[in-house]
């Protein structure tokens, strides 16, 4: 029962990452960094490089801030879920906390979340 509750956290985390599209911000940060290195290696003048770096740094800062806000939102939802589970099953609190840090609990949580992600991917692909 306790591991099933822990797996619920993994599934909720995965769904939030998908729904909030964290990959978009990660790709913006990656592409912005790549563009900055291209600009530094280019034959542009120092003034052009400086202007491009200022623009790029603002874009990177915005993407990083948005990614941080999304992670904080995920943490808030998972925190609310945790407190909700503890309110409904107060006798399971210690076991639930232990399942989050035990090697077996982490392995089961990881495998179950990966299995859920694979099943979800296949189901979405077929629809």
Summarised one tens digit per residue, pLDDT across range 76-88 is: 999 999 999 999 9
Query: Does residue 96 surpass a pLDDT of 90?
Result: no
Torsion angle of the four alpha carbons 24, 29, 30, 35, in this order, in degrees rounded to the nearest 10:
120
Q: State the pTM of this model.
A: 0.81
CB atoms under 10 Å from CB of 19, counted, come to 10
Contact 93, 86 (CB under 8 A): yes
Query: Does residue 66 surpass a pLDDT of 90?
Result: yes
Kindly report the average pLDDT of the chain as a whole number: 91
Helices (H), 2-102: 2-20, 22-41, 46-88, 93-101
Quickly state the pLDDT bin for 115 (edges 50, 70, 90): very high
Q: How far apart are CA 13 and CA 15, in angstroms?
A: 6
């Amino acid at each position: 029962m306790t591991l099933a509750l822990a797996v619920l956290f993994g599934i909720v985390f995965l769904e939030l990452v998908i729904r909030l599209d964290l990959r978009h911000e990660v790709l913006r940060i990656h592409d912005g960094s790549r563009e900055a290195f291209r600009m530094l290696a280019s034959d542009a003048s120092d003034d052009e490089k400086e202007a491009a770096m200022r623009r790029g740094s603002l874009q990177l800062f915005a993407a990083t801030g948005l990614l941080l806000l999304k992670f904080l939102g995920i943490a808030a939802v998972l925190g609310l879920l945790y407190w909700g589970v503890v309110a409904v099953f107060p006798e399971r609190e210690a076991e639930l906390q232990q399942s989050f840090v035990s090697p077996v609990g982490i392995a089961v949580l990881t495998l179950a979340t990966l299995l859920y992600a694979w099943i979800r991917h296949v189901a979405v692909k077929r629809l």
